[in-house]
């Protein structure tokens, strides 16, 4: 049995991971749709769906399986064009909610990818909704000039909120917390620079004074 799944299609940060798993041989293949496919003009043209086919073609060159085996695909919109391509090539494919080994593998691969981009590990390991838009947008706002380049800017939510007004002022940390710019600890009662803005609600984030100078 062959399964195909994605990870990160709902994450503001980064591209999207595509994983393929052969249950019989336990072979696993993972690759990424680059972030620029989720930025204009590629996103509106759905070119990410073409890149999925490119990834699957590479995977099929490395994985060993019988063409007559059924390929089970996650129901994500990412795979709309792939389903038609597989059918045209003579493969038998079916939609399926992917669970088990592949789901775990592809999510782990994507998590490591966004950590390598700079996303704090605790965002993923300690957050129930790690990839919610507004939570990730808060991280982006700590270094907007650079981190905006890591975002799926073709999204309507990005277009709605990315130009939000901000207010910056000095304050004192009321508790130990992590600076969302450098990732290092800010100790309680230390001076901080606070950035405040409103999207779905009022958000505030604290930076070390030295970090806010280059934001």
pLDDT in tens, 58-75: 999 999 888 888 999 999
**Residue 126 covered by a domain:** no
CATH number of the structural domain spanning residue 27:
3.30.420.10
**Residue 152 covered by a domain:** yes
**Residue 123 covered by a domain:** no
Give the span between the Cα atoms of 60 and 62, in whole angstroms: 5
Domain span at residue 142 reads 132-212
pLDDT for 65 equals 82
- Whether 97 and 16 map to the same domain: the answer is yes
* C-beta separation of 137 from 150 below 8 A: no
Model confidence, pTM: 0.92
Q: Looking at the 3D structure of the chain, how many domains does it have?
A: 2
pLDDT confidence bin for 184, thresholds 50/70/90: very high
In this structure, what token pair is assigned to residue 71?
């390929």
In this structure, what token pair is assigned to residue 202?
């009022």
- Whether 137 and 206 map to the same domain: the answer is yes
Q: Which of 92, 117, 142 finishes a domain?
A: 117
pLDDT for 125 equals 64
Q: Which of 94, 117, 140 finishes a domain?
A: 117
**Residue 9 covered by a domain:** yes
The candidate with the shortest Cα–Cα distance to 206, out of 162, 165, 176, is: 176
**Residue 96 covered by a domain:** yes
- Whether 112 and 7 map to the same domain: the answer is yes
In this structure, what token pair is assigned to residue 203?
């958000």
């Amino acid at each position: 049995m062959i399964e195909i799944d994605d990870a990160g299609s709902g994450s503001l940060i980064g591209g999207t991971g595509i994983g393929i798993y052969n249950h019989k041989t336990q072979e696993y293949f993972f690759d990424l749709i680059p972030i620029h496919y989720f930025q204009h003009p590629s996103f509106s043209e759905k070119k990410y769906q073409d890149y999925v086919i490119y990834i699957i073609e590479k995977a099929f060159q490395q994985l060993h399986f019988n063409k007559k085996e059924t390929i089970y695909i996650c129901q994500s919109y990412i795979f709309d064009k792939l389903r038609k391509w597989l059918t045209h090539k003579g493969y038998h494919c079916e939609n399926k909610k992917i669970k088990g080994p592949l789901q775990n593998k592809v999510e782990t691969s994507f998590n490591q990818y966004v950590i390598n981009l700079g996303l704090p590990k605790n965002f993923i390991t300690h957050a129930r909704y790690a990839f919610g838009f507004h939570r990730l947008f808060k991280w982006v706002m700590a270094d907007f000039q650079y981190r905006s380049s890591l975002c799926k800017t073709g999204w309507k939510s990005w277009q709605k909120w990315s130009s939000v007004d901000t207010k910056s002022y000095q304050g004192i940390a009321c508790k130990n917390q992590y600076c969302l710019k450098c990732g290092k600890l800010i100790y309680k009662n230390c001076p901080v620079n606070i950035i405040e803005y409103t999207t779905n609600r009022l958000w505030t984030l604290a930076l070390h004074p030295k970090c806010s100078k280059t934001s």
